[in-house]
Amino acid sequence: MKKNILLIHTGGTISMSEDNSGAVKPGAKNPLTEEGQILSGLANLIVEEPFHLPSPHITLRDMMTLKQMLDHYAEKNWIDGAVITHGTDTLEETAYFLDLTVKANFPIVVTGAMRSSNEIGSDGLYNLISAIRVASSEDARNKGVLVVLNDEIHTAENVTKTHTSNVSTFQSPQFGPIGIVTKQGILFHHMPSYHENYAISDITKKVVIVKAHAGMDSSLLLAVQDLKVHGVVIEALGQGNMPPATVPGIKALIANNIPVVIVSRAFNGIVQDIYAYEGGGKQLKEAGVIFSNGLNGQKARIKLLIALEVTNDMKEIEEMFRN
């Protein structure tokens, strides 16, 4: 029996076309809507298109719209799964936001494309078919929000875009995919050991990302403080170390009750409070910096934004980032 699948189109390359000059842009119609006959053979589709945006245009408000739409369908118990088509540039952020905030017992799958609908080798329709198949699979339940492209199934927490144009751009650097899409079925070979979820009704805070570099001082951090932000994520060096001249700026942020979360600018490994020299991770941890457990900068920002909606207590926020 075919499943009832909610299909949410949000825009992105998967819904764009290339013109005669080679420029890729949205058209008057979403080309995916022309594929109804092919897609209807996979599932009973309920199609929604709340907005049609390139992914660099996606905001937290748009992510909240998707969360509320999914929550609505979950409350009504109308569907067996959901698929979201999305531009790839910010796909991982939307997927992770939904992973942390949507409470649904059906599979939610996010997909996209690296080539527009009329380019040679276009991957959009194939990825969408794969995503619908995964969302229809009973084995996809209770695994959090999934990202499906290029025959691979990734968790929203671990997946990231690793190449600007290659169709195999989405990878989970430390862990790999949790499953694959084959012609005969959907195969999961492992699953996450832990899934967290937070009840929020809005996103009202401002969190910025700062990337560390050799010779960095505190000027940028002090300027960020003047912007009246509610939190800062720093993509630090190595295992979580900073140039010594940044320490006054970091301490000033913490003294003003602005949480500072450290991740690494390296995309493999986790940050740890190991080094005890000036600006080293051990000193930063003692000063009150929060060390994130393996997230990249953009996802740490999403998590901190959500954490700040739940609590203002630094200890509670730090505990959330240990998971």
Catalogue the active-site residues. 13
CA distance 297 to 269: 13
In this structure, how many other beta carbons lie within 10 angstroms of the beta carbon of residue 94? 25
Question: Could you tell me which of 19, 9, 219, 49 has the C-alpha nearest to residue 131?
Answer: 9
Nearest alpha carbon to residue 32 among 15, 48, 44: 15
